[in-house]
Every structure is written in structure tokens, then in C-alpha cells.
């Protein structure tokens, strides 16, 4: 019998096959920014590039930079928002990563704390009209980022629904519960908001509205003030709303937002980005979406995105140029158009036609300057860890009717042990 495949050749085949794969992998071009003599490519990472609503517009707005800066090409690195934390920290930790990042405050502080960002103060030398939204970008006296967008929280409602239910715009939590009940009696959903630790980040940011709203806060700048009467009042109020059974149990925020979009929800507390999403492309017309100040004595919170420059970038100069352009009138105008209701680094007013189509947007613009960051003052980087303890306490209050005062006291103790400075 002929044996055409000998031992040697079968081994040779498998060696060749696997080596070919490895070599193909090594030889294939990969990686990000490569520069020829004059051409510079800037990679900008942002999860918003994937946003179905604004992503394309935001990218086109940013691309306008190329018109006035020939020789620099912009490339996007789109990362889903749920993964951007882990992906960027992995990339930077390994010495790679994009040239510019557009990230939420929390990640911004983490990246800066890890030494991944370079100072950008020089980029704004000639610019004088940067507003207070940029203050958060100054860490230890140096500016590390430019404000990209600030999305403040407000109370939003379905004007048609509440009118037909006989409800009004509440100014206190008790009123909110009563009004929500009126809406629920008509068969719709009274209130939507996060109540589950599955979306931990989203939930603790939402809760900050209540905490600040009742005059509380988790630190006074140096000490962690967990167990305070104001914080207790906030949590008790939230528990009160939860016990009123107005919120769809266990649902994530995207699902609840879609409910609002389908005009089956009376009230919610959401930020300007979420509200824009609700008001666009769903059953509810944007003119039926109303916005008002939060039903709390004090102002609430905001979410904010910053633009930072990577310390490992090979194109630091070009990156700084981009920031200068972005902070200038041209960049701000372009960004204004694409940003919907969010507040920007300078006080560019909302476009008239946008306000006409989206009357709720002005309320957000009014509320933005006075709101607070969702990060804990003085403990920005440790905020998720601290809030993890707090949110688990809140979870127990909601789920097993634990005593809020006791839970807060226990949380204060745990947190002092771990983070006491």
C-alpha cells in the first residue's frame, strides 16, 4: 500500500500551518496612529461615536477641525460605554491607547490619577470664556481636560399624560408620589428610575441627585460624611418613593426610558442626554416632554464628559492643537449643533430651532451651572468603591426594609476603616 503522507510531512504540514498563522498575524498591519513625514493621525476614543442618535453628528462636528488643520487626520476609536473603563485602562496600562479621550468624569479622574493624562493648560492660553464646567478638569492646580459636555439632571414628565390624570408638576417628594399615583391610577407608569444594583454606576449617579437635593453630601472636602441627617433624609425619601410601587420593578434604565418614549410614563428624573433620547424618535412628541427643577430643596447633580490628552501620545502637539480649536468659537459652534441640550465648555446658547422643537431643553440649560458632580469631593478616584458600600446599604433598605439610620451608621464605619484619611 502506498503511504503518501509520511510522518515527516504531516508534521511539516502542521508546523507550516501554524507558523503561517502566526506570521500572518505579525505581518499584518495593525495598531493606531502612524505618521508619515507630514501626515499626523489623531485617534480620539469616545463611546458616544456609537450613539445612534448623536454619534454621527458629533463625529462630523469634530471632523471640522481637519478643514482648518490640513496635515492632521482624525480617527475614531469607538468603545461601547459599558466597556470603556476596562478597555482604556487596559490600553493605557500597557503603554498603548488613543491620543485623545472623551470620557465621563469618574474615568477621567482615574486616568489622571494613574498618570495617563498630560496637562493641557497651555492649550487654553488665549481663551477667556471657558465657563465653570471646566473647573472639574483642574486637578491639583493643573488643567488636565476640557469640558466636553455637561448633562445635568432634571425632573421630566409627560405633559399630556399628567394633564389627563389630573396631576401637576411636583415640587416635593410627597407631591411627586401623589402625582405619580394619579398617573398610575390611569393604568400608566407613575415614575421611572433606577432601583437595581445591576447598573451600579448609573444608580449611584442617580442617587446623588437625592443626596445633594436634601442638602447632603458624602464628604466635606477632607472627611467622609456618610452618616448625616441630610443623607438620611435623602435615602428615606428615596425609599418612600420606592415603596409607593410606582416604579417598574427591576427594570434597567434603557428599558424604562423606552417606556417613557412610548408615552406610558408620567415622571422621571433623567439627565439631558437621556431626555434627548426619550424625546426623539419615539411615540411621545418632543413637545409633550416637560422638564422642571428636581423636587428637592437644593440643586442636584450632573454627569460630565471631559476631553483629555494621553501622556503616551506620539502626537501631543497636534492633540493640544485640537483642544485649542475645540475650545475656540469654531469648535464650540460645531459642537453646539451636535450636542443637543447639553451644556458645553463655553456658554454657547442653544440654537433657536432646537429650542422650538424641544421646549424642555432650556430648563436643563438653567439648571446646569448650580448642579454638583456625582464624584465625591476629595475622593474622586475612590468614589465607586465608597458608593459600592453605600449602594449596598441602600439595597438592603429597599429589599429587606432595613433601618436606614442603622445602615448609614454601619456604612460610615466600614468606609472609615477602608478610606479614613
Residues 234-263 that bind other proteins (CB under 8 A): 248-252, 254-255, 257-259, 261-263
Nearer to other proteins, 59 or 325 (CB): 59
Residue numbers 377-396 binding other proteins by CB under 8 A = 381, 384-385, 388, 392, 395-396
Q: Out of 35, 39, 50, 413, which residue is the one contacting other proteins (CB under 8 A)?
A: 50
- Least distance from other proteins to the Cβ atom of residue 76, Å: 8
Q: Out of 39, 68, 71, 114, which residue is the one contacting other proteins (CB under 8 A)?
A: 114
Nearer to other proteins, 78 or 293 (CB): 78
Question: CA-to-CA distance for 356 and 362, rounded, in angstroms?
Answer: 10
Give strand ranges (E) for 141-293.
142-143, 145-158, 189-192, 265-271, 289-292
Residue numbers 63-82 binding other proteins by CB under 8 A = 76-78, 80-82
Do 234 and 173 meet the contact criterion of CB atoms below 8 Å apart? no
Residue numbers 92-111 binding other proteins by CB under 8 A = 92-96, 110
Residue numbers 308-327 binding other proteins by CB under 8 A = none
Q: Out of 1, 36, 352, 417, which residue is the one contacting other proteins (CB under 8 A)?
A: 1
Which residues are CB-contacts of 88 (< 8 A; sequence separation ≥ 6)? 45, 79, 97, 98, 101, 103, 107, 111
Nearer to other proteins, 110 or 228 (CB): 110
Which residues are CB-contacts of 131 (< 8 A; sequence separation ≥ 6)? 147, 345, 346, 347, 369
Residue numbers 264-303 binding other proteins by CB under 8 A = 264, 273-274, 277, 282-283
Neighbours of 5 (CB within 10 A): 9
Q: Out of 25, 126, 141, 420, which residue is the one contacting other proteins (CB under 8 A)?
A: 25
Question: CA-to-CA distance for 76 and 260, rounded, in angstroms?
Answer: 32
Do 219 and 377 meet the contact criterion of CB atoms below 8 Å apart? yes
Measured in degrees and rounded to the nearest 5, phi and psi for residue 114 equal -80, 0
Nearer to other proteins, 88 or 327 (CB): 88
Return the C-alpha cell found at 254. 434603557
Question: CA-to-CA distance for 86 and 37, rounded, in angstroms?
Answer: 34
User: Could you give the C-alpha distances from 139 to 63, 123, 166, in angstroms and in order?
Assistant: 29, 16, 49
Nearer to other proteins, 170 or 340 (CB): 340
Residue numbers 120-179 binding other proteins by CB under 8 A = none
Interface map 329-368 toward other proteins (x if CB under 8 A): ----------------------------------------
Amino acid at each position: 500500500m502506498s503511504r503518501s503522507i509520511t510522518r515527516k510531512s504531516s508534521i511539516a504540514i502542521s508546523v507550516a500551518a501554524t507558523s503561517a498563522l502566526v506570521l500572518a498575524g505579525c505581518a499584518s498591519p495593525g495598531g493606531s496612529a502612524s505618521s508619515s513625514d507630514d501626515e499626523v493621525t489623531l485617534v480620539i476614543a469616545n463611546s458616544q461615536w456609537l450613539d445612534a442618535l448623536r454619534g454621527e453628528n458629533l463625529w462630523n462636528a469634530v471632523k471640522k477641525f481637519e478643514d482648518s488643520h490640513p496635515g492632521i487626520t482624525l480617527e475614531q476609536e469607538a468603545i461601547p460605554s459599558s466597556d470603556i473603563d476596562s478597555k482604556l485602562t487596559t490600553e493605557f496600562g500597557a503603554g498603548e491607547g488613543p491620543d485623545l479621550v472623551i470620557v465621563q468624569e469618574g474615568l477621567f479622574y482615574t486616568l489622571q490619577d494613574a498618570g495617563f493624562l498630560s496637562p493641557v493648560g497651555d492649550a487654553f492660553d488665549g481663551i477667556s470664556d471657558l465657563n465653570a464646567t471646566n473647573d472639574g478638569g483642574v486637578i491639583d492646580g493643573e488643567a488636565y481636560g476640557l469640558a466636553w459636555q455637561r448633562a445635568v439632571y432634571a425632573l421630566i414628565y409627560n405633559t399630556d399624560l399628567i394633564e389627563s390624570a389630573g396631576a401637576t408638576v411636583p415640587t416635593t417628594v410627597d407631591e411627586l408620589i401623589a402625582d405619580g399615583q394619579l398617573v398610575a391610577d390611569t393604568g400608566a407608569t407613575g415614575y421611572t428610575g433606577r432601583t437595581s444594583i445591576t447598573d451600579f454606576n448609573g444608580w449611584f449617579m442617580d442617587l446623588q441627585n437625592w443626596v445633594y437635593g436634601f442638602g447632603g453630601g458624602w464628604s466635606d472636602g477632607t472627611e467622609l460624611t456618610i452618616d448625616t441627617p441630610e443623607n438620611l433624609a435623602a435615602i428615606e425619601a428615596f425609599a418612600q418613593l420606592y415603596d409607593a410601587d410606582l416604579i417598574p420593578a427591576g427594570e434597567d434604565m434603557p428599558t424604562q426610558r423606552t417606556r417613557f418614549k412610548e408615552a406610558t410614563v408620567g415622571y422621571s428624573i433623567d439627565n439631558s442626554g437621556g431626555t434627548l433620547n426619550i424625546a426623539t424618535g419615539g411615540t411621545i412628541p418632543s413637545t409633550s416632554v416637560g422638564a422642571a427643577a428636581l423636587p428637592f430643596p437644593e440643586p442636584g447633580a450632573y454627569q460630565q464628559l471631559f476631553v483629555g490628552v494621553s501622556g503616551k501620545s506620539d502626537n501631543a502637539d497636534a492633540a493640544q492643537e485640537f483642544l485649542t480649536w475645540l475650545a475656540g468659537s469654531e469648535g464650540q459652534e460645531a459642537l453646539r449643533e451636535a450636542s443637543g441640550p447639553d451644556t458645553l465648555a463655553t456658554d454657547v446658547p442653544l440654537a433657536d430651532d432646537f429650542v422650538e422643537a424641544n421646549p424642555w431643553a432650556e430648563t436643563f440649560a438653567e439648571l446646569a451651572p448650580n448642579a454638583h458632580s456625582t464624584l465625591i469631593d476629595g475622593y474622586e478616584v475612590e468614589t465607586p468603591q465608597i458608593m459600592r458600600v453605600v449602594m449596598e446599604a441602600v439595597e438592603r433598605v429597599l429589599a429587606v426594609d432595613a433601618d436606614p439610620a442603622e445602615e448609614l451608621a454601619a456604612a460610615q464605619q466600614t468606609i472609615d476603616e477602608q478610606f479614613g484619611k
